């Protein structure tokens, strides 16, 4: 396993992060709470990740209605302090965690309440990494930043980051933090893959300029870059496209189908598979710290192992990107 600096935090994270959004649910969607992987499956995935050298586990307070954090906490109890001390646990806040009007968002009230719940579920005294899950237009940005700064000063959180963040708002947040003497966002966690390259326009240049880490989610575009979906064919039962297809419907078109066919041929010529090549393309970007994979089974981590062994030149990276024409 390779380990890379996460922005200016001083922390080194594995070149692949473990996404735990399928533990006890399917992300933050209430319709799927209690579904997803149970403890036996989740424990097997975390065991495989630990054995692979992954030291970065990513969850959120709303994943599975809290079941994801709780599952990680139960797993940690079986492992003891030695394992816990080597792991960097990241959680997020924004999505609803209850029925009340203040059970969501980025208000000081919600942040201060929910951090205690997350720490209790995980069975830890602090979070190494803590992100806003997405911006909250209903809360002044400075209120959120002051609350997060207080969490760092209180020792409940070590470093803060932002997910689903546009570049303009990240720029504003960094300016506010500097002006007010507050803890800065140290990394970004946005969608980025061969099929979603919008962050190349503004966010990645901002990360380079401000020395921010970058931990993309959906690096395989919800499974599209594994080859599991083919235009005109039935969707596999239990797949992301049958459970929560909304973020990925835009890939159901002829242009994507042609790009995937070309990617499959390119991978075969390199003696590898589509998923490994798509991950290697991400990892070979010097601005990418660690893509976050959300495996449903331990063997779903295997493409990441293969990707780590693939070294792409800048020319190969450009050729692979061009397979999807105007993918950016």
Sheet holding 292-293, edge to edge: 213-214, 185-189, 157-163, 127-132, 88-93, 56-58, 17-19, 292-293
DSSP 82: H
Neighbours of 275 (CB within 10 A): 24
d(CA 186, CA 210): 9
Catalytic annotation on 3? no
- Where do runs of H (alpha helix) occur along the chain? 39-52, 67-79, 81-86, 108-122, 141-153, 167-180, 203-210, 240-243, 254-269, 274-283, 302-309, 314-322
CB contact at 8 A, 131 and 95? no
The catalytic position among 63, 192, 214, 248 is 63
How far is CA 62 from each of CA 9, 103, 148, 264, 326, rounded to the nearest angstrom?
A: 25, 10, 18, 36, 35
Give φ, ψ of 172 to 5 degrees: -65, -45
**Shortest CA distance to 136 belongs to which of 177, 174, 103?**
103
Smallest CA-to-CA distance from 55 within 16, 105, 108 is with 16
The torsion region of residue 155 among left (phi > 0), alpha (psi -120 to 50) and beta comes to left
Whether residue 33 contacts residue 150, with contact meaning beta carbons closer than 8 Å, is answered with: no
Instruction: List, by residue number, the catalytic residues.
Output: 63
């Amino acid at each position: 396993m390779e380990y890379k600096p996460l922005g200016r935090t001083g922390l080194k994270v594995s070149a692949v992060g473990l996404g735990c959004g399928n533990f006890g649910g399917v992300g933050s969607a209430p319709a799927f709470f209690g579904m997803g992987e149970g403890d036996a499956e989740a424990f097997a995935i975390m065991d495989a990740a630990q054995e692979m050298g992954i030291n970065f586990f990513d969850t959120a307070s709303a994943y599975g209605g809290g079941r994801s954090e709780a599952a990680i906490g139960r797993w940690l109890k079986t492992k003891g302090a030695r394992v816990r001390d080597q792991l960097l646990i990241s959680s997020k806040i924004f999505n609803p965690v209850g029925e009340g009007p203040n059970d969501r968002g980025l208000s000081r009230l919600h942040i201060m309440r929910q951090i205690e719940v997350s720490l209790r579920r995980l069975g830890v005294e602090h979070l190494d990494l803590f992100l806003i899950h997405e911006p909250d237009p209903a809360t002044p940005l400075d209120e959120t930043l002051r609350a997060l700064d207080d969490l760092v000063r209180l020792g409940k959180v070590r470093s803060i980051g932002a997910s689903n963040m546009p570049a303009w708002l990240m720029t504003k947040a960094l300016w506010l933090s500097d002006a007010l003497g507050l803890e800065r966002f140290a990394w970004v966690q946005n969608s980025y893959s061969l099929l979603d390259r919008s962050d190349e326009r503004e966010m990645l240049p901002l990360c380079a300029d401000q020395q921010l880490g970058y931990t993309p989610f959906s690096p395989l575009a919800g499974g599209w870059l594994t080859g599991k979906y083919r235009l005109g064919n039935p969707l596999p039962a239990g797949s992301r496209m049958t459970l929560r297809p909304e973020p990925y419907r835009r890939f159901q078109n002829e242009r994507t189908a042609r790009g995937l066919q070309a990617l499959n041929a390119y991978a075969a010529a390199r003696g590898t598979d589509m998923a490994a090549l798509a991950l290697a393309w991400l990892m070979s970007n010097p601005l990418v710290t660690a893509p976050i994979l959300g495996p449903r089974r331990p063997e779903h981590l295997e493409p990441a192992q293969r990707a780590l062994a693939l070294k792409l030149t800048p020319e190969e990276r450009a050729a692979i990107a061009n397979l999807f024409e105007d993918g950016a």
